[in-house]
Amino acid sequence: MADFEVTGADQFLRLSKALKHAGQTDLRKELNKELREAAAEIIPLAREEARTSLPAAGGMAEKVAKARMPVKVSTGRDPGVSIVAGRPGSGARGAEFGRIRHPVFGNREKWVSQVVPAHWLTGTISRSRHLVIPKLEEALERVAKKVVDRLG
């Protein structure tokens, strides 16, 4: 049996493209699913970080913590796995950059910008990388092994 190892975004991209071109769409879907599941382990940590670091007054921290945080697997020009915080208007994206806009005491006629602690999501991802990277690598290796097994 041949040895096959996948490390780094460049080799991930090559594996994903090779699976697509070889008609192995089931393995490609499995790879993407496993990568999403591994990265999704950061989401509860990010939600907790939003609750503890963002302003609780007015419900901002809880609103951001409950925002959608889908995991995206990209095989385009910038291959990788990412977590996107919230939809526009959820406050999650603005909070990530350290600035949110909100109505003054609920008055939709008067809005203000407020500075909040930035990088609640990217900081959580950076601090949690050591937990997730081995799981991402394991997922890549499992699928790569299946490719080798199919090829003989």
Average pLDDT per 10 consecutive residues for the chain, totaling 152 residues: 46 74 80 90 95 90 92 81 82 88 88 91 92 87 81 66
> Domain total for the chain?
1
Per-residue pLDDT, 9 = 64
Whole-model pTM: value is 0.78
Per-residue pLDDT, 5 = 40
- Radius of gyration, alpha carbons of the chain: 19
- DSSP code, position 83: E
**Domain-located, residue 25:** yes
Per-residue pLDDT, 88 = 73
**Domain-located, residue 76:** yes
80 is in which domain, residue-wise?
Answer: 8-151
Mind giving me the DSSP string for 99-124? EEEEEETTEEEEEEEEE----HHHHH
**Domain-located, residue 3:** no
**Domain-located, residue 62:** yes
